[in-house]
Chains A and B, each alone.
Chain A
Amino acid sequence: MIGTRDELLQSRAAAESKLNSYDCRILVCSGTGCIATGSRKIYEIFRELTQNAPQTTLEFAPHEGETKQVGVKNTGCQGVCELGPLVRIQKGNSVIQYIKVQPDDCSEIFEKSVIGDEIVERLLYHVDEKPCKGPEDIPFIAKQTRIVLKNCGKYDAQSLEEYLASGGFAALEKAMFELTPEQVIDEVDASGLRGRGGGGFPAGRKWKQVAGQKVTERYVVCNGDEGDPGAFMDGSVMEGDPYRMIEGMMIAAYAVKAQNGYIYVRAEYPNSVARLTKAIHILEENGLLGDNILGTDFCFHMHINRGAGAFVCGEGSALTASIEGKRGMPRTKPPRTVDKGLWERPTVLNNVETFANVPDIVMKGAKWFRTIGTEGSPGTKTFSLTGSIRNTGLIEVPMGTTLREIIYEIGGGLKDDAVFKAVQTGGPSGGCLTTEHLDEPLDFDSIKKFGSIVGSGGLVVMDENTCMVEVARFFMSFTQRESCGKCVPCREGTKRMLEILERIVAGKGVPEDMDELLELADTIQNTALCGLGKSAPKPVVSTLRHFRDEYEAHIIEKRCPAGVCSGLKQYIIDPEKCKGCSKCAKNCPAGAISGEIRSPYVIDQSKCLKCGACLDNCAFNAIDVK
């Protein structure tokens, strides 16, 4: 029970000394990615090894002779998801980062690095065949600036003790005992923190508006409905450091005098739901959530709502409607959420990353925060770096970092040394950045200038093998499927845009299609009801702007430059290689292949269905696809 400020201080001191008493900590990544590659099993094995080895103990007890105190912990995302399961062995300040740890590797690691002080070199990350010992030696991690993610990978994500030991709840304590609510808001306002969910609206201004309302029943809502396909930052924060985000929400609640908080988590994140639920439960048990927190009259209760599968619920008014048990359909504004949000009460609605930034801002001050990032967009931004890139994973960099730094220095360049073509930012609501933007500093305002948005932070790297028309079609099919169906431009307009794009990738496009797409896009962008609808045409407009030649190739030349669109593929038999075995002709379902035994066969392109059966069955590699 932590019922007073003193008790909080005592608990933190106790937690710190416990943390320091470990001789060794085995930190197993339990992010969604590593769980998928089997990290739960690794965790169990290390626990067993620690428990069974005579030299080590898991139990926390005063030191007895030679027995080593070993902590086996599940941490938040360690970052390099593709190289999982990830394990760190920490002894004091020395940390070894192991990658791709398989169950068979555990006892070796345990013997050499936990009991002994050796390194298992084959399990280290290598750059140009040079091993990297600690996480900071890996360029992917070294080049990052971690505020929101600073605890991820270092502490047990689920343990309140470890969060306290890491300095957790010091910011809340400072806010509650040393600052007035107004001062907290001023600090956040002065920091220039902008909403990390997409729009980039200044968080401080939002809080101020809520604090200024006459109605005293108020809410703090956290948007954890990270729906952009290709983005998983918020999920990583929720599961990797749930307390930080909750602390941020509590500070917001203290500042705007809200009594209840809701976290809306998308249904596809069962780990996040589980860890947040447990974290809230632990905080309630310890009196850090509930009535009269730390002996003051600050009362705050938190609730979790799981999404039920609707992308549009990432939109503020749809999200609050969903919490209220309704269809997640955006409503017209005004009234704004700050005036009439959840249950028609004043509501602070920010996303996960925004709240997770708050504790450090309160702790270290607005000035410090402004030293990071750019003038207009202070602080860092998390991105999920995916697609055709060597190192995929979760990153956090200062605003204003260039795309080149992200892709080539952190991401290690393109996969298989492919040629960079574009990066999609902002998911289905964003657009693409191309080679011409590689050296531009990225922040809210600059990306917007290039016709895209930061969005929640998905960065999907695409190379020359990606067809931009197909990508546009993909995003349009996504928004179309996820349209709530309320307003006409989005419901009917995206459907028609999708139809046109489908036509183009199938090789049935006509030159007017491009104008028609732009005309539809113009109407949708200017008349749709909500932000999601308004931005739905962005991927199309953006690809049309930067890659018009690819559209033209599809429509006029009936050719897919990237060779992706199957409707535009041509299967051709190489007469040099064809032995005339007739196997392809027998396998062709359309009867499009003819010829005479032992002389080259020919495919009739007008009959060809582009199914690829000939290619699959040719023993002589004689069939080319163009």
Chain B
Amino acid sequence: MLDETYYQKTDAIIARHSCEPRSLIPIIQDIQAEYRYLPPELLSYVAGKLGISESKAFSVASFYENFSFEAKGKYVIKICDGTACHVRKSAPIMERLYKELGLSKKKHTTDDQLFTLETVSCLGACGLAPAMMVNEQVHPKMTPDSAAELVEKLRKEESV
């Protein structure tokens, strides 16, 4: 069960948009931005408010890659696997970070809720391939080593 504040926050988010079915995606994008994931309870809640069925809302939310029904880590690392990055060897970076973070294709978020590792099809920084994005910041010309260093740095910052 989510506490009351979640619903209050959601009400505030809905109020920023028009309360009709077309606003579903922007609203849940805002919720996702707020909590770094989309709590299922809130999706159902929004569906009710907008007058669409729960299964429709789920249908839409599960279609788009950006929505996650599970809590994401504090740092969401997106490794670009666009063509340019792929040609310039982004796959080894992924492998290295899987190893460093103890994650896999099935497990995206570390147990301490610090890191979530994902791939993304293109960050639009092809000129600086291979690239990766940590939260909103793009890091250019990565190597497996520099990616591992970055993760280590973030980890240290957290433990202080």
**Which residues of A come within 8 Å of B, CB atoms?**
32-33, 35-37, 80-82, 84, 226-232, 235-236, 267-270, 305-311, 322-329, 384, 386-388, 392-394, 424, 427, 458, 460, 462, 466, 471, 474-475, 478, 482, 484
Contacts and interface: CB of A to CB of B under 8 A. Distances in A.
Nearest to A392: B127
Nearest to A238: B124
Given A36-B140, A37-B128, 16 more contacts: A36-B131, A36-B138, A228-B83, A229-B121, A232-B126, A236-B124, A268-B123, A306-B25, A306-B29, A307-B64, A308-B67, A310-B65, A326-B60, A387-B84, A392-B126, A482-B121
A468 B6 CA distance: 50
B84 A230 contact: yes
Contact of B22 (A33, A310, A325, A328): A325
Given A32-B123, A270-B136, A325 B23 contact: yes
Contacts, number: 138
Contact of A386 (B64, B66, B121, B127): B127
Contact of B139 (A36, A329, A393, A482): A36
A227 B64 contact: no
B129 A386 contact: yes
A84 B24 CA distance: 39
B128 A474 contact: no
Contact of B60 (A36, A231, A325, A466): A325
Contacts of A310: 63-65
B96 interface: no
B22 A324 contact: yes
Contacts of A80: 127
Contacts of B127: 33, 80-82, 232, 384, 386, 392-394
B87 A388 contact: yes
B128 A81 contact: yes
29 contacts: A33-B127, A33-B140, A36-B138, A37-B140, A229-B83, A229-B85, A229-B121, A230-B84, A230-B126, A232-B122, A232-B124, A232-B126, A235-B124, A268-B123, A305-B25, A306-B29, A307-B66, A308-B25, A308-B29, A310-B63, A310-B64, A325-B25, A327-B59, A384-B126, A386-B129, A387-B84, A458-B84, A460-B83, A471-B87
B125 A325 contact: no
A466 B139 CA distance: 24
A458 B83 contact: yes
Contacts of A311: 121
A194 to B, nearest CB: 23
B143 to A, nearest CB: 15
B122 A328 contact: no
A484 B66 CA distance: 15
Contacts of B128: 33, 36-37, 81-82, 84, 392
A529 to B, nearest CB: 16
Range for the number of chain B residues in contact with chain A: 35 or more
Contacts of A82: 127-128
Nearest to A465: B87
A268 B84 contact: no
Contacts of A231: 122, 126
Contact of A228 (B85, B86, B122, B123): B122
A387 B83 contact: yes
A84 B21 CA distance: 43
Contacts of B150: none
Contact of A81 (B24, B64, B125, B136): B125
B39 interface: no
B121 A227 contact: yes
A288 B28 CA distance: 31
Contacts of B82: 229-230
Contacts of A323: 22
A305 to B, nearest CB: 7
Contacts of B88: 387-388
Contacts of B125: 32-33, 36, 81, 232
B141 to A, nearest CB: 8
Contacts of A36: 125, 128, 131, 137-140
Contacts of B86: 229, 474
Nearest to B32: A308
Contacts of B140: 33, 36-37
B83 A424 contact: yes
A392 B63 CA distance: 34
A460 B23 CA distance: 37
B40 interface: no
